[in-house]
Amino acid sequence: VSCILVKTMVVLAVFRTSKPGGNASLKWFGAGQQRGTVLVLTSFQAAICTAWLVSASPTPHKNTRYHNDKIVYECVVGSVAGFGALLGYIGLLAFLSFLLAFLARNLPDNFNEAKFIT
């Protein structure tokens, strides 16, 4: 999701620089900055995931409560806060990607990358 977010940011930056007076913002979206942003966003997600798995990792649980003749293995989440933080972070990245793609909806139709971002 972080790759899509950065790509959408670059698409918006390219078209904003094509307008008069917008040439200064493109210097912040070079190849190194794009890779660095993706690395930082992905590292933050990996840190959340690692903290969740180290503190209270998911464990299998035998559930015989509903079916006495069968043993059903279920996954106990462990830390609900860790799982919620991980899903919340992914949701935040997805929301920001969708928001930027919504802003990019008025870009020219002949630009292939902007056509199907949303």
Q: Would you list the domain boundaries of the chain?
A: 1-19+39-106
63: enclosing H helix or E strand: strand 59-63
Coil, strand or helix at 72:
strand
Phi and psi dihedrals of 110, rounded to 5? -80, -5
**pLDDT, averaged across the chain:** 82
27: pLDDT strictly greater than 80: no
62: pLDDT strictly greater than 80: yes
Question: What per-residue confidence (pLDDT) applies to 88?
Answer: 96
Q: Which pLDDT band, with edges at 50, 70 and 90, does 77 fall under?
A: confident
Burial class (CB in 10 A: 0-12, 13-18, 19+), 52: buried
CA separation for the pair 25, 106 (Å, rounded): 19
105: pLDDT strictly greater than 80: no
Span 98-105, average pLDDT: 82
Handedness of CA 46, 47, 48, 51 (dihedral sign): positive
Span 32-42, average pLDDT: 92
CA separation for the pair 41, 104 (Å, rounded): 22
Question: Among 21-30, 81-90, 100-109, which is the least confidently predicted range?
Answer: 21-30
User: In DSSP terms, which residues pair with 63 in a beta bridge?
Assistant: 72
